[in-house]
Amino acid sequence: MIIHQSLHGYDNGHNLLSSSILLSHEDEDRMKLLSDWSEYDGGVDGDTSYITAYPLNHSGLYVIAKSWYAEEMKRPGCVWTHSLILNLNDIDDDFNFLFLQQLFRRPVSNNWAYYSRAIDTSKIDFEKIENEDFGLIEEQWISILRTLFSDDKKLEFGINRNSKYYQSLCLYLIQYMPLTILEKLFVCSGTSYSRKVEDSLYSVQFLTNSRKFINTTSYSTTNNIGLRYMASCLAKRDIEA
């Protein structure tokens, strides 16, 4: 599988700095917009990095990006955003989205050559990636899944842990999404305000100004065998199910 990548940052405004793929103007515009700063001021550890995931409608590709506040820049509000661009149809059963955390690179100075090359995942051993324990029980996962699988509901939670927890949680959740859901899913692991795309809220986002935390999600029982099976796998950290 080939993963394309790109880098956005400050260059007379927030712009594309390097990329391994040529996209349509519409998809480029979406990436430019969604790679900009969410004004996230960090988790309990003060880490202001966060992950954003979203589809590119014109190409049918999917982006998972990591942003870092660029405090070294003279202009306030600047970020570096490294985007990984995937073809969801190329993903096989061995692929582990949690591995993407190891591919993200914060740029050093003006050395952007790394981001102009596609990544070949054929030599990656996804089985060596350690699953994390997010401390959520089956009924809490069911509440989250039922909301995501509906057409008119969105999920917003507060932040009371370190930033990496929410970044990993977002990737872990994406791992279990059916393709028909994932190709429409907008996710952000850290923001200071409710993010929208074309006046529609993100599917899942974690906000510093919300007091509803994911570990206090209301329980939601269900007789849906498929949902309960997925929730059970999520709770048991069974990534191969």
Q: Which two tokens stand for residue 205?
A: 């986002």
The answer to whether 48 and 31 are in contact (CB under 8 A) is no
**3 state DSSP class of 196:** strand
Strands 79-86 and 2-10: antiparallel
Q: Which two tokens stand for residue 233?
A: 């796998």
* Strand ranges (E), the chain: 2-10, 14-19, 50-56, 61-69, 79-86, 119-120, 155-158, 187-191, 196-197, 200-201, 204-207
pLDDT tens for the chain, 241 residues long, are 999 999 999 988 899 999 999 999 999 999 999 999 999 999 999 999 999 999 999 999 999 999 999 988 888 889 999 999 999 999 987 888 999 999 999 998 788 999 999 999 887 776 666 667 898 999 999 989 988 888 777 899 999 999 999 999 999 999 999 999 999 999 999 999 999 998 899 999 999 988 889 877 777 777 788 888 989 989 988 766 5
* Per-residue model confidence as pLDDT tens digits over 131-178: 678 989 999 999 899 888 887 778 999 999 999 999 999 999 999 999
Give the Cα separation of 96 and 241 in Å (integer): 12
- Cα-Cα-Cα-Cα torsion 149, 150, 154, 155, nearest 10 degrees, comes to -40
| Residues in CB range of 18: below 8 A, 6 or more apart | 6, 7, 112, 113, 115, 116
